[in-house]
Amino acid sequence: MLTGRLPQQGRTQAGSTNQNYLFHLDNLSVEYGSVKALKSVQLTIYPGEILFVTGPSGAGKTSLLNVLGGHLAPTSGKAILPQERNSKHFVSTVFQDLRLLQKKSCEDNLWLAYDSSIYNSKNDFYKEMTDLARHLQVHDHLNRKIEDCNGGFKSKVAMIRALLSRPTAVLADEPTAALDKDNSYRLFEVLNHYNHKKGLTLVWATHNKELIKQFPGKIAHLDQGRLVYSGHACFI
Ligand SMILES: Nc1ncnc2c1ncn2[C@@H]1O[C@H](COP(=O)(O)OP(=O)(O)OP(=O)(O)O)[C@@H](O)[C@H]1O
């Protein structure tokens, strides 16, 4: 089994922020009317890191991912995002609701990620798509309509679509919520492989402590909108 790389690069000796980061949140807050979803969050994510965002329901995990993906503007503070600094960076988000086209087949949904400027040919894209589908054991049913698939199957399709866009970073919001233990591990192994092979940065909101223990990375733990712990996962 592949294991996660401990993310040391980009840190100065004293542990302070240097400029090689991918994402940087500076004293960032998000409010929805009177609800304070994120409070003065300070967070830096470096290229090639695996970061698990943890915390109880309502702690602010989705809000944090939405800020990182550029889908939600902070109420105050600053978010410095890779996709805004450099157009060669692409950040792909797997939302909790997956955002798949229900009436289309799985394969049609995956083809939405095809971009002729990043693939040499449609054959190359098709090969990568079928390889990923085989690893995640969905290859026999790619002609199924999304509306006819179960939740776990759909989350795998959404993750494959995200990876096919060859992103710098994947932001995934509870992607294993509908998966059993074996399928959760299988999905994470594929992501871990992309992390090792291609330096993919992964930010993963999850309640799944077993998964975190199995694949070492870092943790950002939120509680009522505050980032109360940021560091290596071995301390959970
Ligand atoms: N669009 C919104 N309008 C008003 N309040 C919101 C909105 N989105 C989130 N909230 C509130 O902001 C807080 C943080 O929500 P968020 O969804 O970011 O937390 P979470 O940790 O992802 O929760 P969960 O694990 O249940 O998905 C919660 O109190 C939530 O009710």
80 CA to middle of ligand 1, Å? Answer: 22
Q: Which of 28, 41, 63, 65 to mutate to test the pocket of ligand 1 (most atoms within 8 A of CB)?
A: 63
The pTM assigned to this predicted structure is: 0.89
Atom of ligand 1 nearest to the CA of 59: 21
- The complex scores an ipTM of 0.98
Low-confidence ranges of the chain (pLDDT < 70): 1-18, 234-236
Cα–Cα distance, 121 to 114 (Å, whole number): 10
Q: What's residue 9's pLDDT?
A: 37
Cα–Cα distance, 64 to 25 (Å, whole number): 10
Q: For ligand 1, is residue 58 a contact (CB within 6 Å)?
A: yes
**Residue pair 145/178 in contact by the 8 Å Cβ criterion:** no
| Helix (H/G/I), strand (E/B), else coil: 116 | coil
38 CA to middle of ligand 1, Å? Answer: 10
Count CB-CB contacts under 10 A for residue 171: 27
**Residue pair 229/235 in contact by the 8 Å Cβ criterion:** yes
Q: What's residue 99's pLDDT?
A: 95
Q: What's residue 13's pLDDT?
A: 42
Cα–Cα distance, 157 to 99 (Å, whole number): 11
Q: What's residue 32's pLDDT?
A: 97
Q: Express each pLDDT in 98-120 by its tens digit.
A: 999 999 999 999 999 999 999 99
Who contacts 26 (Cβ-Cβ below 8 Å, separation ≥6)?
Answer: 42, 77, 78, 79, 80
Closest C-alpha to ligand 1, atom 26: 57
Domains (ranges, CATH) in the chain?
A: 48-70+91-235 (3.40.50.300)
**Residue pair 203/65 in contact by the 8 Å Cβ criterion:** yes
Which residue's structure tokens are 């998966």? 179
| Helix (H/G/I), strand (E/B), else coil: 57 | coil
Which residue's structure tokens are 């002609």? 143
**Residue pair 102/147 in contact by the 8 Å Cβ criterion:** yes
67 CA to middle of ligand 1, Å? Answer: 13
